[in-house]
Amino acid sequence: MNPSKSGWLTDFIKYRKSAFLKTKEFNQSKLGKHPDQSFYGIIQPTGIMYGHPVNAFGIENENSWTEDEGIKVLMADSFLNIAALYSGEKIETEEDFDNHISKTLTNINNFYKGVYPELSISSTTWLGKKKDINELTEQILEKRISQITSKRNNFWQNFFSRNQLFLDIYIFGQWSHTHPDDILLEFFKSEKEEMSFTSVKVIAASAHANSKVEEEERTLFEHFLTTTTLPAEKRRVAKEYFDHGMGIQEIPVQESDPWIIRKFLLELAILTVWSDKKVEDAERKFLVSFKESLGFSDEDLEESMIAVEGFLLQNWSQLDSLQGKIDYAAVSDEYMSRLIKMCSNHINKIENLVAEDVTLLATIKKGSSSELSEDDKQLIRNRFLAILQSIPHFRVVMLPDEFLSYENLLKVIPKETITRVLSQD
């Protein structure tokens, strides 16, 4: 598969179909208690929420793709998964799969034509030949990616431009299970503009949380003005925000707003705060105040911190624009500290799960009298990971399994827990 050549979308769909026929599962992402949580479980590990999309398909030549090539494939994949989530239809047979793909590609085209009319693509070639739906969708995705990448030339521009793709996917999710008339289309156009404006306010407020106004924030604002169609008065107000700073109360988000949007804005703030290598006390206070204004609890904030830090650790090698800005050791130390604290809050559940796992207990006992083999260590690691994932707070949060080695998991699961379980066995 070569995303730089015409026909890449057809090739990707063939790849998805092959995977589907093997497993009979359309999407294996974690599902939450409600659709917003399921949406989060599908999208959060991709990095699109954070403006740092990562490649994780396992396709043979994936590592050779350019950043923009990876983004357009990831966008296609995300649209297919979100459409499946909201359709409510079971995808169990090859015919189900083909029907879902055809319907989703048609919806993607109609969505962009309606909500982003400037991206419209001619349905015929210059010779008058009608294009098929794969070709149309491929071209419109390429045009959208080109639109958001053409003017970026620094970290903040890159960051802001690409997290706008999350809003594409979110609004598409809403749009795909409605039958929009002209009034609804205007609503969706207005919604994408307002959410875009709100997200840049969150980034700006977060970047100013430590009272240090840098040139990067000003550059971000200038970029925002070049990529939005805000009226003159709104632009003037926005400039005042950037010149004089802004308070949390000026970010127009209510507790009644969709959970996934509030979650997106909270984690956008967390990543912005992390972008200068560490989280200072003033920034921590900002995050606490912000999560309260969003209607989230202390545990919600901890979950989101774990989600963002886990994403950074899992994908560190791919995050070129963040390497050198964020200190890997600082992130890993913070992350381990949070995991240990989270586990201590669920110690009884962990003890019960360890006690119920006969194979795990036998392997741990073996280690008390002889040296464990690599296979034994891998078994313990896998079982400990499964135990962590059973904790409700990790229902839809990606755990960085590459970072959570056998040695690190031994630090997360308290020795006292294992000792107590063994003494009761």
> Sign of the CA dihedral 396, 400, 405, 407?
negative
Beta-ladder partners of 326: 323
Choose between 372 and 27: higher pLDDT.
372
What is the C-alpha separation between 349 and 239, in angstroms, rounded?
51
What is the distance, to the nearest Å, from the Cα of residue 234 to the centroid of all Cα atoms in its chain? 29
Choose between 349 and 163: higher pLDDT.
349
Contact 78, 99 (CB under 8 A): no
pLDDT tens per residue, range 84-138 = 988 878 889 999 999 999 999 999 998 988 888 888 787 777 767 788 899 999 9
Binned at pLDDT 50, 70 and 90, residue 260 comes out as: very high
Query: Cβ–Cβ contacts within 10 Å for residue 314, how many?
Result: 21
Q: How many helices (H) and strands (E) does the chain have?
A: 18, 0
pLDDT tens per residue, range 140-194 = 999 988 877 655 555 656 666 777 888 899 999 888 777 667 777 788 878 887 8
Instruction: Supply 372's token pair.
Output: 């464990």
Give the residue from 171, 292, 272, 262 showing the smallest Cα distance to 220: 272
| Arch. (CATH architecture) of 181-322 | Orthogonal Bundle (1.10)
Give me the mean pLDDT over the 325-337 stretch. 81
pLDDT computed for residue 154 by the predictor: 57
What is the C-alpha separation between 147 and 16, in angstroms, rounded?
26
H or E stretch at 270:
helix 259-274
Contact 67, 83 (CB under 8 A): no
Contact 164, 148 (CB under 8 A): yes
Work out the burial of residue 150: count CB atoms within 10 Å of its CB; fewer than 13 is exposed, 13-18 middle, 19 or more buried. Answer: exposed
The amino acid occupying position 292 is: E
Give me the mean pLDDT over the 202-221 stretch. 65
Contact 283, 209 (CB under 8 A): yes
Where, residue-wise, is CATH 1.10.3680 in the chain? Answer: 181-322
What is the C-alpha separation between 334 and 330, in angstroms, rounded?
6
Long-range contacts of 209-216 (CB under 8 A, 24+ apart): 209/273, 209/282, 209/283, 209/285, 209/286, 209/287, 210/276, 210/280, 210/282, 210/283, 211/282, 213/245, 216/154, 216/155, 216/156
pLDDT computed for residue 213 by the predictor: 52
Give the residue from 298, 362, 310, 315 showing the smallest Cα distance to 335: 310
> Sign of the CA dihedral 414, 415, 418, 423?
negative
User: Does position 58 have pLDDT exceeding 70, yes or no?
Assistant: yes
pLDDT computed for residue 99 by the predictor: 94
Binned at pLDDT 50, 70 and 90, residue 235 comes out as: low
The amino acid occupying position 263 is: K
pLDDT computed for residue 261 by the predictor: 92
Instruction: Supply 192's token pair.
Output: 């994408």
* Angle of helix 155-176 versus helix 67-87 axis, rounded to 10: 20
User: Does position 366 have pLDDT exceeding 90, yes or no?
Assistant: no
Q: Is 281 helix (H, G, I), strand (E, B) or coil?
A: helix
Tokens 């949580």 -> residue? 37
What is the C-alpha separation between 132 and 136, in angstroms, rounded?
6
Strands (E), 354-401: none
What is the C-alpha separation between 116 and 148, in angstroms, rounded?
13
Instruction: Supply 249's token pair.
Output: 């109360």
What is the C-alpha separation between 203 and 158, in angstroms, rounded?
13
Mean pLDDT of the chain: 81
